[in-house]
């Protein structure tokens, strides 16, 4: 038995079923796929007296035989989490308030009206680009950001450019997927770019750990960050 969840437009789920039924994928290939999964099950004796898991991401119980071990705040802060079922959320703004005293915050998609900044001031610009992951439509973007392409959402590119015109030192923080950088990466004011990838409940703490130098940014992203669209192979449709 192959159990899948529907992913319209993908290669698996219902599409795999169609491919098997119309002969595009031979039944021998399906049997091989199933064998590779089931073989591990029997190899480790999971069909026998195998212990049940002692943690679950689907509960918020603090004690008991099954508890939310995957939501442990120390682990979440160290590795980051992409779950959307957060028991709480620490934002970058929350953490910066506790780390620095002389800070102003602007939650906006457009550059705010400001007085002339002094050379010693640093601007942190947070931008993002989400993804529907091929089965969810997010703000009109089905799959991997079809209408938005690989640009930052919510006028993110223009926001960085406007900040670069006003400040001499800028740090750009981005979540969650690949974006094109060529509109602003070479601006003299842009001193660094931090890709936070998938922030979770400890997003603010983990981000500030890196930005303030308490920890070295040592993570490895599961994709390549392109500088421009030409960095992709010509066979890839964007």
Co-location of 219 and 121 in the same domain: yes
Q: What is the pLDDT of residue 231?
A: 84
- The domain of 10 spans 1-50
Average pLDDT score over residue span 157-178: 91
State the DSSP string of 60-79.
--SSSSSB-GGG-HHHHHHH
Q: Which CATH number covers residue 225?
A: 3.40.50.1700
Tokens of 170: 């800028």
Q: Of the candidates 218, 210, 208, 163, which has an alpha carbon nearest to the alpha carbon of residue 187?
A: 163
* Residue whose C-alpha is closest to residue 74's, from 206, 215, 176, 213: 206
pTM attached to this predicted model: 0.68
Find the radius of gyration of the CA atoms of the chain. 23
**171 touches 122 (CB < 8 A):** yes
Shared-domain flag, residues 132 and 178: yes
Task: Quote the number of domains for the chain.
Answer: 2
Q: Mean pLDDT over all residues of the chain?
A: 80
- Cα–Cα distance measured from residue 68 to residue 214, given in angstroms and rounded to the nearest whole number: 28
Whether 83 contacts 75, CB under 8 Å: no
Most confident of 55-64, 83-92, 115-124, 216-225: 115-124
Highest mean pLDDT, choosing among 32-36, 116-120, 142-146, 228-232: 32-36
**Cβ neighbour number for residue 76 with a 10 Å cutoff:** 22
Residue 209 has which token pair?
A: 């750990």
Residues 99 and 195 in one domain: yes
Same domain for 93 and 44? no
Same-domain pairing of 196 and 124: yes
Judged by average pLDDT, the poorest of 81-85, 94-98, 127-131 is 81-85
Q: Is residue 59 part of a domain?
A: no
Q: Are residues 173 and 110 in the same domain?
A: yes
């Amino acid at each position: 038995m192959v159990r899948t969840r529907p992913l319209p437009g993908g290669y698996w789920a219902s599409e795999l079923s169609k491919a098997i039924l119309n002969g595009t994928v031979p039944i021998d290939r399906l049997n091989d796929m199933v064998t590779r999964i089931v073989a591990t099950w029997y190899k480790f004796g999971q069909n026998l007296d195998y212990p049940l898991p002692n943690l679950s991401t689907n509960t918020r119980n603090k004690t008991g035989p099954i508890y939310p071990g995957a939501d442990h705040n120390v682990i979440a802060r160290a590795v980051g989490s992409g779950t959307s079922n957060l028991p709480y959320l620490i934002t970058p703004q929350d953490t910066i308030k506790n780390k620095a005293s002389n800070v102003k915050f602007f939650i906006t998609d457009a550059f705010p009206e400001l007085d002339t900044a002094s050379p010693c001031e640093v601007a942190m610009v947070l931008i993002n680009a989400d993804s529907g992951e091929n089965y969810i439509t997010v703000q009109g973007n089905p799959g991997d950001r079809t209408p938005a392409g690989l640009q930052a959402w919510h006028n993110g590119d223009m926001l960085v450019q406007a900040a670069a015109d006003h400040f001499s030192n800028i740090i750009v923080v981005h979540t969650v997927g690949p974006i094109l950088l060529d509109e602003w990466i070479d601006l003299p004011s842009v001193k660094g770019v931090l890709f936070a990838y998938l922030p979770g409940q400890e997003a603010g703490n983990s981000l500030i750990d890196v930005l303030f130098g308490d920890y070295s940014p040592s993570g490895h992203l599961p994709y390549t960050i392109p500088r421009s669209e030409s960095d992709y192979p010509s066979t890839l449709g964007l």
